[in-house]
Amino acid sequence: MLEKLILQDSSLQYATMPPLPQPKNRANISPSDFQLPQDTIVVSADNHLSVSEDIWYKSFPERLRDRAPRVWFDQGTYHIGFDGKTMFPEAMVRGFAAHDPMPGTSKIAPRMLDMDADGIDKELVFPNGMLAMLSYKDLEIREWIYKVYNEYLVELAAQAPDRFYGVPLLPHFWDSTRVAASVAEIKAQGFKTIMLPQKPGFTPDGQPINYQDDNMTAMWEAIEDSGIPVCFHIGEGFVSGRGGFGTGALVQLSPFRQIFGQLVFGGVFDRHPKLKVAFIEAGINWVAGTLQDADMVCNAQRDFIDHKINHPARWYWENHCYASFMIDPLGLRLLDLIGPDRVMWSADYPHMEGSNGFSKHSMKAVVDAAQNDDDARKILGGTAIELFNLQ
């Protein structure tokens, strides 16, 4: 039934699909007759990894080992937590249990088989459960959580060179005296991008971190000098109460207006003209509305803006920003407003809403929506290869 409806509806609108099988139960239904434009290299700009090994306990300094997070398997998923208590809310546990039994969720060899079946050549790989640890309050422990995770990604990448590109976390982004050394270490490790949290938390002296403030200048300078683009990814924060999972999922898909506003109206892009930023997994349809409203702010409310930006708001999108999507028929209809060179396709493997098992149908929707083969090649991989230097 799923295959029949997907084949009938090349736009892949979620509303017309039957309920998707959980990824662990999803068969591959790749079409045999679909051909990509010649010379297309397919990159999923957003896939995910579950940590299945007890990496922090093994790698923390001995003096901190009893405070390290532990990893264990229970209720169908790999947990991360302390003293036997998971960091994951119940809804998160249910969501991860839909895919964590798949070997490719955490192991490289079966992962590459899944990519091959879906026609994916390269992938950028973001955290799964690690998202719950991004703003861990103990900064010394958070530093080691980030460092050990990054080292683990390096080990995994060595098993699939030129295919698996793990996305590291930036230790000390909260500490202006140490952040430059952390950026240099990430570049030396061979990473192609850096992930920053949407909700960066607080400085060591307890002040809230705002990315546009002067105390973040050292971080932006180091990142700009490195030439490495920055990624922001959805997935931080949850909504409690009745309907919390559905409400939280809906809110998660529109999180980037604040950060885009901080970078534009806070002058970050003006001060760091070589900075590149990618907004991951929120789709692309949000971009058109955000740019329309940002233009309104620039024009109708310009007298109230405390930082006089150098360009129209849309200019910063066109020169600094990118976004990824999975299945976004509305966004694809708005390509001329968003810019086909600003968007990157992704499978979102192995998530429930991702295209694992029918990625070639998702690619076909891109080819059908693009004005020409060159635009399709950019969206399906070319832009990601250029932005993240995946040569």
**Residue 34 near residue 7, CB atoms below 8 Å:** no
DSSP 289: H
Three-state DSSP state, 124: strand
- For 346-384, what is each residue's pLDDT tens digit? 999 999 999 999 999 999 999 999 999 999 999 999 999
User: Which residue matches tokens 């460092």?
Assistant: 147
Residues 6+ away with beta carbon under 8 Å from 188: none
Quote the distance between the C-alpha of residue 123 and its chain's center.
11
Q: Number of helices (H) and strands (E) in the chain: give both, helices first.
A: 17, 11
pLDDT at 7 over 60: no
Measured from the Cβ of residue 73, the count of other Cβ atoms closer than 10 Å reads 13
Q: What is the mean pLDDT of residues 175-199?
A: 97
Please report how many Cα atoms fall inside a 13 Å half-sphere around the Cα of residue 79, on the Cβ side: 19
- For 317-329, what is each residue's pLDDT tens digit? 999 999 999 999 9
> Which residues in 125-152 are b (16+ Cβ under 10 Å) and which e?
bbbbbbbbbbbbeeeebbbbbbbbbbeb
User: Is the N-terminal amide bond of 103 cis, ω within 30° of 0?
Assistant: no
Q: Which residues pair with 44 in a beta bridge?
A: 123
3-state secondary structure labels for all residues of 306-348? CCCCCCCHHHHHHHHEEEEECCCHHHHHCHHHHCCCCEEECCC
Extract the tokens encoding 348. Answer: 């979102």
Lowest mean pLDDT among 161-165, 190-194, 219-223, 360-364: 360-364
Bigger pLDDT: 223 or 248?
223
Burial class (CB in 10 A: 0-12, 13-18, 19+), 235: buried
Residues 6+ away with beta carbon under 8 Å from 243: none
What confidence tier does 281 reach under pLDDT thresholds 50, 70, 90?
Answer: very high
Three-state DSSP state, 47: strand
**Residue 137 near residue 69, CB atoms below 8 Å:** no
- Angle (CA) 31-32-34 rounded to 5° is 70
What confidence tier does 238 reach under pLDDT thresholds 50, 70, 90?
Answer: low
Q: Which residues pair with 325 in a beta bridge?
A: 345
Question: What pLDDT is recorded for position 5?
Answer: 46
**Terminal C-alpha separation, the chain:** 39
What value does the mean pLDDT of the chain take?
92
Share of the chain above pLDDT 70, in %: 94
Three-state DSSP state, 82: strand
Extract the tokens encoding 225. Answer: 């000098």
Q: Do you know the residue count of the chain?
A: 391
- For 78-133, what is each residue's pLDDT tens digit? 999 999 999 988 888 888 999 999 999 999 999 999 999 999 999 999 999 999 89
Q: Of 151, 313, 309, 168, which is closest to residue 226 (Cα–Cα)? A: 168
Q: Which residues pair with 285 in a beta bridge?
A: none
